[in-house]
A and B are shown apart, each in its own frame.
Chain A
Amino acid sequence: MQSQAVEFTLQHFIALLPLLVTSATIIVVMLAIAWKRHHSWTFGLSVIGLNLALLSILPALKVAPIEVTPLLQVDNFACYYMALVLAATLACVTLSHAYLGGESGKGYPGNREELYLLMLLAAAGGLVLVSAQHLASLFIGLELLSLPTYGLVAYAFFNKRSLEGGLKYMVLSAAGSAFLLFGMALLYADAGTLSFAGIGAILAPAAQPGPLVQLGMGMMLVALAFKLSLVPFHLWTPDVYEGAPAPVAAFLATASKVAVFAVLLRLFQLSPAAASPALHDLLALIAVASILFGNLLALLQSNLKRLLGYSSIAHFGYLLVALIASEGMALEAVSVYLATYVLTTLGAFGVVTLMSTPYNGRDCDALYEYRGLFWRRPYLTAVLTVMMLSLAGIPLTAGFIGKFYIITVGVQAELWWLLGALVLGSAIGVFYYLRVMVTLFMVEPNLRRHDAPFNWGQRAGGIMLLLVALLAFVLGVYPQPLLDLVQHAGLAGLMR
């Protein structure tokens, strides 16, 4: 490995463009903040940078697949998930701008600009993660993604819940990283290499991987399951989601989770050791537990952000079904499901964000505050209704297409027990999604604390949200473009 000359041509540069552009944006934004604090300029710079990074995926696609140093592999898979991470970050940045408030008067009282910086940093971590093909880059990416997130969660540090959430996330995340490192070490002890493919190649001849490998893989799985908040590593999720400012919660639920799931998927693809029977059963158990516990605990929530947190636990349980299947359309299904999930979650958190806009001490996340919203803000309610239906997987919304894919994969791989859990979980899920939905349409109460500003629809955040809802509807009615995209990205045939 060391003997390999590291060649770096223009092609490699082009392949790395999305990451480079994002990093450049980080530096520019940092310098701009140092030079002069200005909320809208910082926001503008971040948005321009993220858009450029999104655009730079197109040239990167031309040279893909290409190996950039042994650490990173830029292929269609990476490009697709880069686009997903960047788009999600873009949406979160837009929401943050609305959330933090305008230039003068009401809004977030502290320094606003650093939020963008932290979010961009985390996005860069996500980009590294989705193209990682080496345990070292996996670790670097994961830490680059996590460290700024601590800051983000605790961004409203003068709010007790936010600070508590940040600390909790940091401590548990550090424990997760320790597991990850230990697992990697064990794996290295057996395989003698850190690259995914290398581990796979060395361990493939052995029909039954040794206990060291299994333990190592298990520990890595624990760490990743922690990031994906799968049961039983989910305990931080509701508190952190509740404490974090709404746009940050959106980022945690979308960009961060997508990136981690992407790397998990690649690890599974390239290292067959991951598919040993014991781990397989363990994963199935985690999936069933996540689906059932996520949905059951969500039933008890009266706080929308906590509810969404639990619902995201259940959704990643559904996703695991496809990961466990690992055949046929599994990869395609994961890609489609993640896209629809990101869209839906962004929409749901977006509504919470706009309802809490501008920042005034606490987020508008108690369910009773949404009572009768339909009669005050009909279109905002329509957005949230579409999102709830989409999370529940009802036809006419994107979520249905995602769920349809997962069930398809499950049937194809004949995972009847997991499918049973999925059906049961969905039935439970419907109950609390409906509860949120019907709250929106009930008779208006007299007390009223928060409301989205009247002209929410004419601001960047509102327009973005309406677009998200429209997209969720259009993809539900006519998903072919997304499926084409996923197929042409070559994701269909990659699985064993």
Chain B
Amino acid sequence: MILPWLILIPFIGGLLCWQGERFGATLPRWIALLTMVLLFGLGLWLWATGDYSLAPAPGADPRWAAEFQLQWIERFGISVHLALDGLSVLMISLTGLLGVLSVLCSWKEIQNRVGFFHLNLMWILGGVVGVFLAVDLFLFFFFWEMMLVPMYFLIALWGHSGSDGKSRIYAATKFFIYTQASGLIMLVAILGLVFVHFDQTGVLTFNYADLLRTEMAPGTEYLLMLGFFIAFAVKFPVVPFHSWLPDAHAQAPTAGSVDLAGILLKTAAYGMLRFALPLFPNASAEFAPIAMGLGVFAVVYGALLSFAQTDIKRLVAYSSVSHMGFVLIAIYSGSQIALQGAVVQMLAHGLSAAALFILCGQLYERLHTRDMREMGGVWARMPWLPGVSLFFAAAALGLPGTGNFVGEFLILLGSFRNAPLITVLAATGLVFGSVYSLIMIHRAYFGPAKAEGAVQGLKPRELGMVLGLAALLILLGVYPQPVLDTSAASMHGVQQWMSTALNQLASTR
């Protein structure tokens, strides 16, 4: 019974925030903070108490650590069907944590329409939690599309105008159209799958467990898989579909960037692991070389573009493209180690990208620019912030001791057996990663100072946020075992689907 509450808490909290604005601007902040702490707490509690050796695997009905089902639209066999396994609980905990942080980092940044801002923020997170829990394809799509609207508002109403004259509404609209159109393609694919299943069994259902048993002709399977892949690829973002991301990031308020990089991108990876691979294993196996190729391309291309940016938030945004490329390679590698690495990488990237965006936000509040050409010499002018930035930049380039290293190392290690060439190429991304990370630090913090005078230092709230994230990142780097244990069963299931299909493919060729 706790699963629907995970979704309802942010939604109700958001409404309270909206109405709470009548009693002053501080009340919504506290309500939002409490809501998120509650969500985070529930996530951790579920993590601590659940049995995560239960996860869906091929050949049997999916088993879940927790499940909830309620009839919804009987006409189509749609139910509110929520389920939890190791992968989802990790993602929900990450959502809760980043939710707390995004409320905290907006504490001073957002000064107008505070209640409405937090309404949007809470509803995004509610929608994301819904995506991580839904195992009814209609419900999944429902949440997938629903979280776009508050995100749109967040960027369009509280965003910054871009450095090259692009307005925030342009960025928000671009984000919305990319994801909405690709989402509709996924809806067509979902319905295609449902009707293939209907033709076989005469049962109209959107239930994950039932649809897993659908048998498809290879051509059909490939097309339907592509429908899903396109929707996930846009959100991921995989390179030809990525151009909304830097715009959205550059224009979004800090909390928006944190949610976008930290959680929204992860919904795409989650969708692939939960839906695209298990539902269409054969087509995915056939598609794997292309997907991994796209992943490598994203790694290198993202890194190169990141290097070329002058806007510090766009730099971090492109680095996300690069980092998520590793995750894409891992997902399609069909190796348990790489898949485990992908989970760690998702968490680590969530933490490090969130921290970098928070730092960018703090820098922007002080210098009122995101253009690195106008920064420089900040190291001498303020304590803490440059140092902490250096730490997260190092984390982003995959320094041993941080979670990112564990993630990238596991991904490369796991993928090497099946796809040595791809892995070698992807490994160059690490080199490029160090180049753009260090150049960011160099341009922003070192060099001749562009202005005189000390910059206001970090407040305890701001420092607490980033130091907390740093601690978590190190913890993930030196002791990732709890995370690996939690996701092991889920990833094992995915790996079995994929490797069976890969073996079949290999034997037919």
Contact of B195 (CB < 8 Å), options: A394, A412, A434: A412
Q: Indicate if B145 sits at the interface (CB-CB under 8 A).
A: yes
A395-B145, A431-B173, A434-B152 are contacts. A407–B184 as well, Cβ < 8 Å?
yes
A395 touches B192 (CB 8 A): no
A411 touches B177 (CB 8 A): no
B169 touches A423 (CB 8 A): no
A430 touches B177 (CB 8 A): yes
Q: Indicate if B275 sits at the interface (CB-CB under 8 A).
A: no
Interface residues of A in 359-415 (CB under 8 A from B): 389, 392, 394-396, 400, 404, 407-408, 410-412
A426 touches B180 (CB 8 A): yes
Q: Indicate if B455 sits at the interface (CB-CB under 8 A).
A: no
* Bound form: Cα–Cα A407–B138 in Å: 13
Categorize the interface residue count of chain B.
20 to 34
Give the nearest-CB partner of A492 in chain B: B75
B73 touches A480 (CB 8 A): yes
Contact of B75 (CB < 8 Å), options: A400, A419, A487: A487
* Bound form: Cα–Cα A435–B172 in Å: 11
Q: Indicate if A460 sits at the interface (CB-CB under 8 A).
A: no
Q: Which residues of A contact B143 (CB under 8 A)?
A: 395
B153 touches A411 (CB 8 A): no
Q: Indicate if A441 sits at the interface (CB-CB under 8 A).
A: yes
Q: Which residues of B contact A427 (CB under 8 A)?
A: 177, 180-181, 184
Contact of A407 (CB < 8 Å), options: B74, B156, B176, B188: B188
Interface residues of B in 109-152 (CB under 8 A from A): 138, 141-143, 145-146, 148-149, 152
B184 touches A423 (CB 8 A): yes
* Bound form: Cα–Cα A392–B177 in Å: 11
Give the nearest-CB partner of B143 in chain A: A395
Q: Indicate if A27 sits at the interface (CB-CB under 8 A).
A: no
Number of contacting residues on A, CB 8 A? 31
Q: Indicate if A265 sits at the interface (CB-CB under 8 A).
A: no
Contact of B191 (CB < 8 Å), options: A400, A411, A478: A411
Q: Which residues of A contact B185 (CB under 8 A)?
A: 423
Q: Indicate if A107 sits at the interface (CB-CB under 8 A).
A: no
A438 touches B169 (CB 8 A): yes
Shortest A337–chain B CB gap in Å is 14
* Bound form: Cα–Cα A430–B141 in Å: 17
Contact of A411 (CB < 8 Å), options: B72, B141, B195: B195
| A415-434 vs B, Cβ < 8 Å mask (1 yes, 0 no) | 00001001110110011001
* Bound form: Cα–Cα A434–B177 in Å: 10
B191 touches A407 (CB 8 A): yes
Q: Which residues of B contact A423 (CB under 8 A)?
A: 181, 184-185, 188
Q: Which residues of B contact A272 (CB under 8 A)?
A: none
Q: Indicate if A209 sits at the interface (CB-CB under 8 A).
A: no
Q: Indicate if A479 sits at the interface (CB-CB under 8 A).
A: yes
* Bound form: Cα–Cα A431–B157 in Å: 16
B176 touches A434 (CB 8 A): yes
B73 touches A394 (CB 8 A): no
* Bound form: Cα–Cα A361–B358 in Å: 52
Q: Indicate if A83 sits at the interface (CB-CB under 8 A).
A: no
B172 touches A431 (CB 8 A): no
Among B75, B138, B188, find the residue whose CB has the most chain A CB atoms closer than 10 A. Answer: B75
| B173-196 vs A, Cβ < 8 Å mask (1 yes, 0 no) | 100110011001101100110010
B195 touches A419 (CB 8 A): no
Shortest B170–chain A CB gap in Å is 11
Q: Which residues of B contact A424 (CB under 8 A)?
A: 181
Q: Which residues of A contact B148 (CB under 8 A)?
A: 394
A394 touches B149 (CB 8 A): yes
* Bound form: Cα–Cα A478–B80 in Å: 11
A396-B146, A434-B152 are contacts. A404–B187 as well, Cβ < 8 Å?
yes
Q: Indicate if A28 sits at the interface (CB-CB under 8 A).
A: no
Give the nearest-CB partner of A413 in chain B: B195
Give the nearest-CB partner of A378 in chain B: B116
B149 touches A389 (CB 8 A): yes
Q: Which residues of B contact A426 (CB under 8 A)?
A: 180-181, 184
Interface residues of A in 283-338 (CB under 8 A from B): none
* Bound form: Cα–Cα A438–B192 in Å: 34
* Bound form: Cα–Cα A202–B155 in Å: 61
7 pairs of residues in contact across A and B, judged by CB atoms under 8 Å:
A395-B141, A396-B146, A404-B187, A423-B188, A434-B172, A435-B173, A441-B157
Question: B residues engaging A (CB < 8 A)?
Answer: 72-76, 138, 141-143, 145-146, 148-149, 152-153, 156-157, 169, 172-173, 176-177, 180-181, 184-185, 187-188, 191-192, 195
Known contacts A407-B191, A431-B173; 15 additional CB pairs below 8 A are: A389-B149, A394-B145, A396-B142, A423-B181, A423-B188, A427-B177, A430-B173, A430-B177, A430-B181, A434-B152, A438-B157, A441-B153, A441-B156, A480-B74, A483-B75
Question: A residues engaging B (CB < 8 A)?
Answer: 389, 392, 394-396, 400, 404, 407-408, 410-412, 419, 422-424, 426-427, 430-431, 434-435, 438, 441-442, 478-480, 483-484, 487
